[in-house]
Structure 1
């Protein structure tokens, strides 16, 4: 019996499958925020998570905090910098604060690294394993409103050299295909949310590119607990044969291909009668005194009624030999 194929989503969340960047693509029909919160909940148990708020406030993420520290970098309060406030406030789940409030057009690799370094100086993070941490963007779509796709791609790629993992969310239906393709190109793992079938909570396709160059693709269905602490996923296999009805249909119950058409393919009784009485062009009609009263028995042509005739007139170039009609003898 073949071994059961493991879930890529659970392996990435649990850490058994390594990646340096993950981007979740969702749309208005299916939100990817529950999956993002579940990943943040899991990663915050292992390393410091620096959550850059671009689309939502801190109150939407407080339930994702665990025993480890979760750091909030507020780019949501004044995204365009209209308040002209240089004070930047970052708050942690332990109550410590660090100034970190900027506008979106100033969000760069250097500013992100500066925010992370500022939190480290306040929190005095000394663990070697936790120095780099995880950087999370709650929505790149807000950033794409003020920066080009190339700038955002450089941001994601540059942060990969300064942190353990870059985790982000983007609303794919708000941007053109080339923008989404550019972001996916600089990301190792792409999770695309899909419309789930009945009796399924969530459905996604996972594209994972390992450092060795091997590419894995899976379509998975998953469920998430209310507190985002548990994620259970499995490979999604569309039901084809099992969903078909096992009842046998009689010929009378078979579908009529001529039904529900804008034109009629069947003939009425009168149309069938008229078709049967059509005289074909290579036959001559039966001549009678009733149909042709002007034709007498003396003037009636001597022909085979109701039968076709073939008339052939040889050409001058024809050399017809009755002793060799097939012209296959060389005498």
Structure 2
């Protein structure tokens, strides 16, 4: 199960991509719960959800390692009711925020809405900030929720390109489940992709099962594999049995028969000698062999 492997391993930049048709907030809670159970400190930038909603269902014995930085309900800082605003989404502010935490170590950074940040930041600056946070050393894992239907597809594609893992959620035919399409890129450049059904329980536990193949799709693939690509050609690419035997009997021009090899390799008397018989018109002076040369 690729989705479970990504959640249990952590590391890198994990992007959860959702739409108004299917929310990824429950899946984000599962990733937070899994990081806390691994003993990691989790810093949540809460722009769209209050702390009570984020902590709902999490393991109570691990909640003390969760540090919530309040961006809700004033993410833009208009009424000064938030401790962390969209404007402060910069590598130096976030790094210092984590370092100021007691017993700070390599932590997990969670943004419950990258869309809120992206709508109020230049996309280039936003991507540079993510790159700096990934390479800063203070943050081990970045997990962000992006509402893809709020942005142009080109911008969504750029953010997905930065992520080491992209999880796109969509509704399923079964109301109890949703579909997650997970694309993971390893450091070696290998790309793994899988579609799975998942459901989230009240205690932020993730249940995953493989998505079965549709019978019609499998039948279509089988029909394509059995199709003959040479059936509509105006010429024949295959030989009959008689044509094949006749072809095998034809001697190739660059292949010598055994008889021809023996004739060529058999030595004959006088072979390799050069015999010169002087002509009557030859004027050869033994005393001056170069007399005929105009020098």
TM range (shorter): 0.5 to 0.7
Give aligned pairs, total.
Answer: 213
Structure with larger RCO (C-alpha < 8 A, sep 6+): 2
**CA separation of 1:200 and 1:58: change in aligned 2, threshold 3 A:** closer
SS of residue paired to 1:25: strand
Matching of residue 25 in structure 1 with residue 17 in structure 2:
yes
SS of residue paired to 1:79: coil
Q: Distance in 2 between matches of 1:173 and 1:209?
A: 24
Q: Distance in 1 between matches of 2:15 and 2:53?
A: 20
Look up the match of 1:51: 44
User: Could you tell me which of 70, 74, 78 is aligned with 1:74?
Assistant: 70
RMSD after superposition: 2.2
Deviation (angstroms), 1:181? 0.6
User: Could you tell me which of 13, 16, 20 is aligned with 2:7?
Assistant: 13
Query: Please, what TM-score do these two structures have when normalized by structure 1?
Result: 0.60
**CA separation of 1:55 and 1:197: change in aligned 2, threshold 3 A:** same
Give unmatched runs, 5+ long, in structure 2: 220-295
Is the Cα contact below 8 Å between 1:24 and 1:190 reproduced in 2? yes
Extract structure 1 runs of 4+ deviating beyond 4 A: 241-244
Mapping 1:199-210, distance limit 5 Å? 201-210=177-186
Please identify which structure carries the higher helix content. Answer: 2
Q: Distance in 2 between matches of 1:25 and 1:224?
A: 16
Mapping 1:167-246, distance limit 5 Å? 167-198=143-174, 201-228=177-204, 230-241=205-216
Mapping 1:87-166, distance limit 5 Å? 101-119=83-101, 123-125=102-104, 131-161=105-135, 162-166=138-142
Deviation (angstroms), 1:67? 2.3
Q: Deviations over 1:57-110 (max 9, x none)?
A: 11211222542310001122432222357xx7xxxxxxxxxxxx1321221011
Query: Please, what TM-score do these two structures have when normalized by structure 2?
Result: 0.67
Give unmatched runs, 5+ long, in structure 1: 1-6, 89-100, 126-130, 245-331
